Amino acid sequence: MQLERHSAFNERMLYYWANLYSSQMKSSDSYGQLKKVIQIIISDFEMLPTRDIHSTFQLMEPMSGMIFSSHLEIHVIQLPKEHEKQLHDMSNLEKWLLFFKGDQEMKEEIAMESSAFKEAFEEIRKLSMDPDTVQLAINREIALRDHIQRLEDAENRGDKNARIEMVLKMYAKSSPLPFIAEISGFSVEEIKAIIEPQEK
């Protein structure tokens, strides 16, 4: 399927990916030192002609489906896409996206799902009481979206090192340990063992 509607936007995103990929190398480096670059695009408009909230793109041969290189991976999350699903049928990613873009009533309903959602709801509610910190809440929501997507990608790849890296980044942003455990799949004890060496 050729993506014509937002081709200029798509090409710009591909350019950003290529620039980030090539920027890894120094003049003395070999090509073998290049690492996989995952680009995450969170779109507030319908970027793709699909009904899916989350789409993944890789570089592959179209007839056989053979991957040319695993180093290119682009994820597109389209916030306007709606799924006619019951809450209990949604994936964890779909629930978080609905939580972020939903109204107060929807946030309250999703907050009943787990302690992680409840904690996020309470924090947003407290911050929204102070007009001077509304922007802070928005920035935090965006950061959480990125963390959630990266963690889901890491889990799909079975990449424990990537999950550990996400744990450290979330901890650096002062995310509570129960929340990190809920998202990462690690226990609170495992998370403490991960972050303990960083505090010495």
Q: Token digits for 190?
A: 């495992």
Based on the fold, state whether residues 182 and 119 are members of the same structural domain: yes
Q: What residues make up the domain containing 146? A: 85-200
Based on the fold, state whether residues 33 and 97 are members of the same structural domain: no
Based on the fold, state whether residues 93 and 106 are members of the same structural domain: yes
Based on the fold, state whether residues 107 and 186 are members of the same structural domain: yes
Based on the fold, state whether residues 64 and 132 are members of the same structural domain: no
Based on the fold, state whether residues 24 and 77 are members of the same structural domain: yes
Q: Which residues contact 75 (CB under 8 A, 6 or more apart)?
A: 38, 39, 40, 41, 54, 55, 56, 57, 149, 153
Number of alpha carbons in the 13 Å side-chain half-sphere of residue 134: 5
User: Of 59, 82, 105, which residue constitutes the final position of a domain?
Assistant: 82
The pTM of the full predicted model, rounded to 2 decimals, is 0.45
Please classify residue 137 by burial: count the beta carbons closer than 10 Å to its beta carbon, then call 0-12 exposed, 13-18 middle and 19+ buried: middle
Based on the fold, state whether residues 100 and 54 are members of the same structural domain: no
Based on the fold, state whether residues 74 and 120 are members of the same structural domain: no
Based on the fold, state whether residues 34 and 63 are members of the same structural domain: yes
User: Of 82, 103, 132, which residue constitutes the final position of a domain?
Assistant: 82
Total domains, the chain = 2
pLDDT digits (tens, 9 = 90+) for 58-70: 888 989 989 898 8
Q: Token digits for 5?
A: 């509607």
Structure confidence at residue 21 (pLDDT): 86
Based on the fold, state whether residues 34 and 104 are members of the same structural domain: no
- Mean pLDDT of successive 10-residue segments in the chain (200 residues)? 59 85 81 86 77 83 89 83 64 73 74 78 68 62 71 62 79 81 80 77
Could you give the angle at the alpha carbon of 118 between the alpha carbons of 104 and 92, nearest 5°? 90
Other CB atoms closer than 10 Å to residue 2's CB: what's the count? 6
User: Of 51, 67, 82, which residue constitutes the final position of a domain?
Assistant: 82
Based on the fold, state whether residues 112 and 196 are members of the same structural domain: yes
Q: Token digits for 32?
A: 């073998």
Based on the fold, state whether residues 111 and 184 are members of the same structural domain: yes
